[in-house]
Amino acid sequence: MQVQDIVVGLAAIAAGLFLVIVSAVNLQWYFKSWKTRWLDQRLGRFASRMIVALLGILLILLGIAIMRGFSPNASRTQRCPSVIVKQALSNAESAFV
């Protein structure tokens, strides 16, 4: 775990907590901003609050995953069968040389 993972994870957790608190308290100034006002006009206040709270929870979970070392790029290359086969072939070739 690197320092940058901790910083990014904490930032995501802080943003998620902000969204959860805003939706729980039903802050008028947040739901009157032009992006959330669009959502509020289309779906209503209750649905907007639930969507904002869900996004907050997802950000919190993402922050926790990042802090624990989740990296989509690293996991993809480690699981890719072609990379595993190439590594095995190069190891086998070096054993015979």
Q: Per residue of the chain (97 residues), give pLDDT as tens.
A: 688 889 999 999 999 999 999 999 998 899 888 888 898 899 999 999 999 999 999 999 999 999 998 877 765 545 555 666 666 667 666 666 5
Q: Residue type for 36, please?
A: T
Contact 22, 40 (CB under 8 A): no
Contact by Cβ (8 Å): 63, 12: yes
Residue 75 — φ and ψ, nearest 5°? -70, -30
What is the residue extent of each domain of the chain? 3-72
DSSP-derived secondary structure letter, 22: H
Distance, in Å, from the CA atom of 87 to the CA atom of 31, rounded to the nearest integer, reads 53
Q: pTM score, two decimals?
A: 0.70
